[in-house]
Amino acid sequence: MEQQTFAPKPANPTQPWDVVIIGSGPAGLTSAIYTTRGALSTLIIGGEAWGGQLMLTTTVDNYPALPGIQGPELMQKMRDHAVSFGAEFVEKNAESIDISKKPFEIVAGGTKYLANSAIVAAGADTKWLDAPGIKEFIGKGVSSCAPCDAPFFKDKKVAVVGGGDSAMEEALTLAKYATEVTIIHRREAFRASAAMQQKVLSDPKIKVLWNTEVKEVKGGNQVEKVVVANNKDETTSELSLDGIFIAIGHAPSTSIFQGKIELDEKGYVKIFDHTKTSVPGIFVAGDVHDYHYKQAVTAAGFGCMAAMETIKYLEESKSPGKTS
């Protein structure tokens, strides 16, 4: 992609960046595209394992205009796009942030960076089961997103692990495509809402294995079988399945922000007025605050909004009579 630099970088490390973006998934990289085009010097602290959850996926069929693109390829395109407009990208993990003074101080990989504003786009990690085969088959039958992957399991047999509303939603989505959906739940009752339970239990395609836990996922190139155990009588059995969807929650990447910006009871960043956080000059985008949609395209949308709010904030901060 042709270089089109819209924003100069700080002349030396003692000068602050206009904005530092923490995270390099769709939210963070979209933010960078907008902030650089808005003439803001932009640093992306992308992380050592950059790119977010899409780096672990294979085919992405629901990103507009790019059907069938591979997850890592999509993220590389986003990164190249942001860098082509002048964003600086460092593959370092953010380790700490000091918001007690302006500019903010962010440490990543042992290096201190100064920022006049920041966008938190650190994402959230899927809580995977700690069972043999789970990690090995991610993208090969193991998934955490039915809206993303359900069409790939048309006329196939799948399972969902979990007992909350998210698990119910995954099962109902999969039931539109699969011939059979088995919910594997370690307890004897769901914790999902009564309405969601009613929908699931009345669907003829969905059955439930109560008091059951996944012990192993087996297969060749794809998932073929799942070993489960009843935690009451300790009997084991083997299910022939084409896919297994893990729906036991997500963990937002907010550890360095605890006690710095306001988080909700689940650890997600709290939003005030669109994409503002509790700290003026710090904005948020993507799965680090959005635990409902969890889609690449919605994360990108939040990234756009956070960038536009950041541009507005910095413009107002420089205006006479305005305070930051």
As annotated, the active-site residues are 145, 148-149
Which token pair is 258?
Answer: 């605890």
Peptide bond into 103 cis (omega under 30): yes
